[in-house]
Amino acid sequence: MSEHLVTAYGEELAQLGAEIARLGGLVEAQIADAVDSMTRRDVAQAAAVVAADERIDALQADVEHLTLRLIALRQPVAADLRHAMSAMKISMQLERCGDLAKNIAKRGLILAKGEPVTPFNRSIDRMGKLVVDRLKTVLDAYAAQDVERAVQVWSRDEEVDEHYNAIFRELLTYMMGDPRTITPCTHLLFVAKNLERIGDHATNIAEIVHYEFTGEILAGIRPKFDTLQHG
């Protein structure tokens, strides 16, 4: 990983962005595969997701290493410093998303041992798509240096909350109707919660992207839907 680093400074900065793209692509695929393996009860795929989390951790460590090296050797200032810092911060957010995806896959493995709880496959699937899409949009915005698109992701997260809320209520109703479903439904509840948190991480990344390219901190009130009130 290190012998080819005798490159120009600009190249090093660009490489940092590329590493984030690579890490991001891996995380997007992990989340999509985790949800997919759960709804299709594909044990092999779920196990593959759990195993692939190591690669995410290794990549994240690489990004951290690259960033530290760049800061130590090149002592960047202003936009370059922000670029280095945001790469490190985004990589940490992505690593968390990877952990949440792994957790979903693990729950999928447990769910596959019991009776299928099919009524929720669609809602979970839709929520998963929505969250992956938010993450994808914000990573696209990062790659294209498109602050506007990042802000769009930041300002529209009520959709994820609405989905989470709907699944939450559906699950409660289902569990009340048949207490035997409490164990699988609780796992599904955590899966939905994990997805909601991945959505939050996408929002955080949007804030980091905004700061990197404008130097200003995104402030203001986002439309927020209180999920607890409706429980």
By CB under 8 A, tell whether 229 contacts other proteins: no
Using DSSP's 3-state secondary structure scheme, residue 124 falls into helix
By CB under 8 A, tell whether 200 contacts other proteins: no
Contacting other proteins within 124-163 (CB under 8 A): 129, 132-133, 136-137, 139-140, 143-144, 162-163
- In angstroms, rounded to a whole number, what is the distance separating the alpha carbons of residues 17 and 154? 20
By CB under 8 A, tell whether 224 contacts other proteins: no
Q: Is 130:192 a contact under the CB 8 Å cutoff?
A: no
Going from the C-alpha of 206 to that of each of 41, 65, 105, 157, 202, the distances in angstroms are 33, 23, 26, 11, 6
Among candidate residues 153, 146, 154, 136, the one with its CA nearest the CA of residue 214? 146
What would the two tokens of residue 183 be? 């164990």
DSSP state of 12: H
By CB under 8 A, tell whether 199 contacts other proteins: no
Residue among 22 and 180 whose Cβ is closer to other proteins: 22
CB of 193 to other proteins, least distance (A): 18
CB of 221 to other proteins, least distance (A): 20
By CB under 8 A, tell whether 19 contacts other proteins: yes
Residue among 18 and 183 whose Cβ is closer to other proteins: 18
Residue among 167 and 208 whose Cβ is closer to other proteins: 167
By CB under 8 A, tell whether 208 contacts other proteins: no
Among candidate residues 61, 70, 79, the one with its CA nearest the CA of residue 12? 70
Residue 123 burial (CB count, 10 A):
18
Strands (E), the chain: none
Residues that bind other proteins (CB under 8 A): 1, 4, 14-15, 17-19, 21-22, 24-26, 28-29, 32, 118, 129, 132-133, 136-137, 139-140, 143-144, 162-163, 166, 170
